[in-house]
Each structure stands twice: as C-alpha cells, then as structure tokens.
A and B are shown apart, each in its own frame.
Chain A
Amino acid sequence: GQQLNQSPQSMFIQEGEDVSMNCTSSSIFNTWLWYKQDPGEGPVLLIALYKAGELTSNGRLTAQFGITRKDSFLNISASIPSDVGIYFCAGHSGAGSYQLTFGKGTKLSVIP
C-alpha cells in the first residue's frame, strides 16, 4: 500500500529558530495536509494543499506541495515554545478514496 516517509523523526531546536520537515511518497497524491498533535489530544489541521507547486502559509507556517506530487514540505519560522508537538503529513490519492495516509510524524521540541 501507499507509504509516506516523514523526516526528521525528531528535532530539538532553540526558540526563535526556523524549522523544516518533509514528507515523501512512493506514489502520487492529489492533496497534502499537515496536522499537529499535542499530547493527549487528536491531530489538528494546520494547512491543506491541493495543487502541485502550491505554496500556502498559515501565520508562521508555510507548506508546499511538491511539483512531482510525491512530496511536501512544512516550514515553521521563528519557533516558539507552543510549537512543541508532533507534526504529521497526510496524503489523499484522489477520487474514490475516503481515507488519508499519514506519515509517522516529526516530534518537535523547542528549547527556551
């Protein structure tokens, strides 16, 4: 089945630094989504991408849909302590599919 490889698995950064993480897939996705999960909670949708090459921002977060449709990137600028959590990418393959395929997550720790 489809698999998403998300990297890095974990990151320790200083407050104020920028962060980059990415997801790659062996197959094409038509939609890429990025979620954040805090401890004890369900994932929360951050950004949705619908077109190859699309670049979308949500505050300090910027995500891009790769040209090949097999990858996506998430950048966080000027990190703050509340950015701590696990970030997941998710892909949707298109019409007829009613599920998302998730990456295994990037655990972000921010050192004040």
Chain B
Amino acid sequence: KAGVTQTPRYLIKTRGQQVTLSCSPISGHRSVSWYQQTPGQGLQFLFEYFSETQRNKGNFPGRFSGRQFSNSRSEMNVSTLELGDSALYLCASSPGQVIYGYTFGSGTRLTVV
C-alpha cells in the first residue's frame, strides 16, 4: 500500500512569504502529525489532527497552522517566513493511536532565503 506522500519535496522561499505544505496519509489512517526537524533542535512536534480536529499543538508561534480534510489529507501553512523556519518538515500518519508509532513521509525541505 502507498506510504505517506509529502509534496513538494523541496521549496525555496523568501523571507516574509508564506508557504503551504501537503501531506497524504496512508489509506485508512485518520491521524496526521507534523514535525519540524532541524540540526540544532531535532524533531519538534507542531500539531496533530484526527478526523479534521486538531487534538494537540506544539510550542510554535501562530504563524504555523494546519488543517485536515475529510479524506484525511492534511496541509500546514507557515506565514511571514523567517530564516529560522528553514527545516525539514515531516508528516506522519497513524491509524489513530500514537503509541503504535507513526509512518513518516520523506519530508519537505524548506529553505528560506
């Protein structure tokens, strides 16, 4: 079965712009989580959605937002980009319970210049 698909794989944006990243979970998975990965901070939790509802949000500014659609696909948006937002953004899906682990996508590499 198809894995978690993230698009695009690479993005270059300018400071002040906004960006939208997309994630298609494994078929049947209703939970989608987003993480930011940087060399200095490692994997940091952004938010988690289940059946279109945000159940958990990490400690990120309001410029970071997300949503989930009825088909479980999810998008995250970052507005007013800053240089420090450059990172690998990873999406992960699970059937619903985090304790059984996620399946991660390959990520979107965002570079802000």
Residues of A within 8 A of B (CB): 1, 30-31, 33, 40-45, 48, 50, 88, 90, 92, 97-105
* Number of residue pairs spanning A and B whose beta carbons lie under 8 angstroms apart: 55
Contacts of B99 in A (CB 8 A): 30-31, 48, 50, 92
Least CB distance from A86 to B in Å reads 10
Q: How large is the interface on B (under 10, 10 to 19, 20 to 34, 35 or more residues)?
A: 20 to 34
Contacts of A1 in B (CB 8 A): 59
15 A-B pairs, CB-CB below 8 angstroms? A40-B106, A42-B105, A42-B107, A43-B43, A43-B104, A50-B99, A88-B42, A90-B43, A92-B98, A98-B55, A99-B48, A99-B98, A100-B102, A102-B35, A105-B42
| Any A CB within 8 A of the CB of B45 | yes
Residues of B within 8 A of A (CB): 4, 31, 33, 35, 42-43, 45, 48, 50, 55-56, 58-59, 90, 92, 98-107
Closest to A41 in B: B106
Determine if A88 and B98 form an interchain contact, defined as CB atoms under 8 angstroms apart: no
* Residue of B4, B56, B104, B105 touching A99 (CB-CB under 8 A): B56
Contacts of B50 in A (CB 8 A): 98
5 smallest beta-carbon distances between A and B, as pairs: A42-B104, A98-B56, A102-B43, A104-B42, A45-B101
Contacts of A99 in B (CB 8 A): 33, 45, 48, 56, 58, 98
Closest to B49 in A: A98
Contacts of B59 in A (CB 8 A): 1
Determine if B43 and A88 form an interchain contact, defined as CB atoms under 8 angstroms apart: yes
Closest to B103 in A: A45
A97 to B97, CA, bound (A): 10
Contacts of A97 in B (CB 8 A): 56, 98
Closest to A4 in B: B42
Contacts of B107 in A (CB 8 A): 41-42
A45 to B59, CA, bound (A): 24
A62 to B100, CA, bound (A): 18
